[in-house]
Amino acid sequence: MEREVKKAFETQGFKDITVDVKNGVVRLTGTTPTGARRLEVAVLARSIQGVRAVEDDLRLMTAKR
């Protein structure tokens, strides 16, 4: 299942996200530019067959000043 999740993320261009899968639980770490993108990532992970839960440890990118 981890391979399927990672392939789906690569296809969608989610390059700054690390995916770990254990016992059907997907843990997402890394950064996203917006809250909407963060939600999109979680929805994609949940859509993969066999995923039981998603742990969202993603951080939003901050603007450089």
Q: Which domains does the chain have, with CATH numbers?
A: 1-60 (3.30.1340.30)
Distance CA 35, CA 29 (A): 14
Per residue in 1-56, pLDDT (tens digit) is 888 988 998 898 888 899 999 999 999 999 999 999 999 999 999 999 999 999 99
- Alpha carbon distances (Å) from 57 to 27, 50, 65: 7, 20, 24
Distance CA 50, CA 1 (A): 7
50: β partners: none
**pTM across the whole model:** 0.84
CA dihedral 43, 41, 21, 30 (to 10 degrees): -150
